[in-house]
Structure 1
Amino acid sequence: MRHSQAKVHRMFELIEPIATVTFSEVANEAFLALGMRNYWDGYFAGRAAPLGLAPPEVVHAVFYNFADGEVARHIPWVWGKTTPREAIAVRERGSTAALRQRIGQLADSPGLVRVADLATRAAVSAPTEGRVLYAGLRALDVPEEPLARLWHAATLLREHRGDGHNAALVAHGIGGTEAHVLLALSLGMRTEKFGRIHHLPKAQLAAVVDGLRARGLVNAAGGFTDTGRETSERIEALTDELAAPAYDVLDAHELDELIAGLEPVAAAAQSVHD
């Protein structure tokens, strides 16, 4: 059945802190032990592994929002240190360990199996057409251990939504770096202070902002215009709409049960993450 946009968006808020433990120090250390040079080597090895030995141009297109040349600094170099198959296993182990560390006793709570099962039902039910990274993850085996299964399901749902978000950005003519500028502004941050793009050369970042200003999305002070804010909100609404099919397999009671079960887990993961 189709659920309200509010509940679909609430699922995004709940799966995000669970899935993103994969970018934590615990998982990073597992990749460094393989010979990775830094955090970003492990990031690209783990996240791109479901795509196989895809060239950097393909990974850049699928990930969408990295600046030109950033992917190529890591792909294919990382495949000289590990294989996609090994990277997938290392990522799962490291992420599960990180999640267990963050949520403590909740990891062994009686209800976790049910939450993992409901999340997995949703995560493996969505259509894969046009969802490249999600399709790559769907081709992997679902872990048997409940906590690993919950992390895997959250990752599937996150990347399914992310693939849809990229489609929404393309539909609105928003490029990857531009998307980060809009995100920074939606969070009330100056673009030059935003962690995902602050490292870019000032001239490059200024050119992106100037382009958005020329389109009437950013004002002279570097903030949103009304049109810019409306565009950002439309993109987020479309992203939620495109994410909704993943939850159609659950009835209203099951989705409410899943949301209630995820809330303490997400809160525990988020409190450490912050």
Structure 2
Amino acid sequence: MTDRSAAVHRLSELVERIGTLAFSDGPTRAFLDRGMRNYWDGYFAGRAAPLGLTPPEVVHAVFYNFAEGEVARHVPWVWDHITPQEAIAVRERACAATLRERLGDLADAPGTSRTADLATRAALSAPSEGRPLFAGLRALAVPADPVARVWHAATLLREHRGDGHNGVLVAHGIGGTEAHVLTALASGVRAEEFSRLQHLPPTRLEATVEGLRARGLVDVDGGFPAAGRDLRARIEHLTEVAAATAYEVLDDAELDELVTGLTPIAERA
């Protein structure tokens, strides 16, 4: 019998690899060619585009894990230079082209189309309540090309999980920067050495760590005690439970087939 929880966990890893092609060199170059100033302009234009012409406060709230002021350095500047509709098209074309290049002969294999169908069925069946970024993506047209459809479905499933993860973090009183601290410690890296935190002013980072320390989630010397590890494990478990709703439409055999089909795609991606 299929272990559905293990399959969902594996699928989360696979769609992460495929979905994050959006942040690779090909899409970045495509956005630079459209007038974006740097990587982060393209990142925010492409990822926030399904939300429409939203102010930085909304993007900050939806994306959740950026420090105060980070989003405002790019939004709304990007909307003065590219429309959300154009950003969606640039992102999809560049991601599909990048994935096709990396897949090689696998791009046109019959199994890729079948995998795209299964992933799309799961993505479109997932509940959107409480998931604003996923809901915006689900409102977009599904690409006809199987390779583009694989990336689109993976992105939907990735953001569905991400929106659910943010909800779990909110329920546990863990802010975006605090989540980065816990991730750093879980990876065996001190908070000040973690790449997503190095841009913060030292006083702001220390205040974040001190708040976690006061809750017993960080040791006095900046280490990761059992309480912190337990909380992070609980958050990850509940995130997986919420993510599993996307795959309820697939039976056990189809779930296994999707894992099998996405594995070589994610490896090449």
Whether TM-score is above 0.5 comes out as yes
For the 8 Å contact 2:4–2:252, the answer to whether it is kept is no
Paired residue for 2:156?
Answer: 156
Structure 2 counterparts to residues 187-206 of structure 1, below 5 A: 187-206=187-206
CA distance in 2, matches of 1:119, 1:236: 22
Shift, 1:191, TM fit:
1.4
Paired residue for 2:71?
Answer: 71
Asked if 1:45 corresponds to 2:51, the answer is no
Paired residue for 2:26?
Answer: 26
For 1:124, what is the secondary structure of its paired residue?
Answer: helix
Amino acid across the alignment from 1:46: G
CA distance in 2, matches of 1:105, 1:188: 39
CA distance in 2, matches of 1:187, 1:101: 32
For 2:197, what is the secondary structure of its paired residue?
Answer: coil
Runs of 4+ in 1 over 6 A off after TM superposition: none
Q: Which runs of 5 or more structure 1 residues have no equivalent in the other structure?
A: 270-274
Paired residue for 1:109?
Answer: 109
For 2:196, what is the secondary structure of its paired residue?
Answer: coil
Paired residue for 1:183?
Answer: 183
CA distance in 2, matches of 1:45, 1:226: 39
Paired residue for 1:229?
Answer: 229
Shift, 1:3, TM fit:
6.5
Please give the per-residue CA displacement for 1:15-44, whole angstroms capped at 9, x wherever unaligned. Answer: 111000000010000000111010000000
CA distance in 1, matches of 2:120, 2:25: 25
Q: Which runs of 5 or more structure 2 residues have no equivalent in the other structure?
A: none
Shift, 1:268, TM fit:
1.5
For the 8 Å contact 2:217–2:228, the answer to whether it is kept is yes
Paired residue for 1:125?
Answer: 125
CA distance in 1, matches of 2:103, 2:178: 35
Q: Larger deviation: 183-192 or 16-25?
A: 183-192
For the 8 Å contact 1:26–1:95, the answer to whether it is kept is yes
Paired residue for 2:8?
Answer: 8
Amino acid across the alignment from 1:85: Q
CA distance in 2, matches of 1:146, 1:77: 34
CA distance in 2, matches of 1:241, 1:5: 8
Amino acid across the alignment from 1:104: G
Paired residue for 1:80?
Answer: 80
CA distance in 2, matches of 1:90, 1:49: 11
Please give the per-residue CA displacement for 1:228-255, whole angstroms capped at 9, x wherever unaligned. Answer: 0000000000000001110000000000
For 2:125, what is the secondary structure of its paired residue?
Answer: coil
How many residue pairs match? The answer is 268
Shift, 1:4, TM fit:
2.6
Structure 2 counterparts to residues 138-153 of structure 1, below 5 A: 138-153=138-153
CA distance in 2, matches of 1:31, 1:175: 30
For 1:237, what is the secondary structure of its paired residue?
Answer: helix
Structure 2 counterparts to residues 235-274 of structure 1, below 5 A: 235-269=235-269
CA distance in 2, matches of 1:97, 1:210: 45
Paired residue for 1:167?
Answer: 167
Amino acid across the alignment from 1:138: R
Indicate the percent of aligned positions where both proteins have the same amino acid. Answer: 68
Amino acid across the alignment from 1:142: V
Amino acid across the alignment from 1:12: S
Q: 1:3 to 1:161 in 2, by over 3 A?
A: farther
Please give the per-residue CA displacement for 1:124-176, whole angstroms capped at 9, x wherever unaligned. Answer: 00111101000000110000000000000000000000000000000110001
CA distance in 2, matches of 1:235, 1:171: 9
What TM-score, normalized by structure 2, do the two folds share? Answer: 0.97
CA distance in 2, matches of 1:123, 1:158: 9
For 1:196, what is the secondary structure of its paired residue?
Answer: helix
What TM-score, normalized by structure 1, do the two folds share? Answer: 0.96
Shift, 1:199, TM fit:
1.3
CA distance in 2, matches of 1:37, 1:69: 18
Structure 2 counterparts to residues 90-105 of structure 1, below 5 A: 90-105=90-105
CA RMSD of aligned residues (A): 1.1
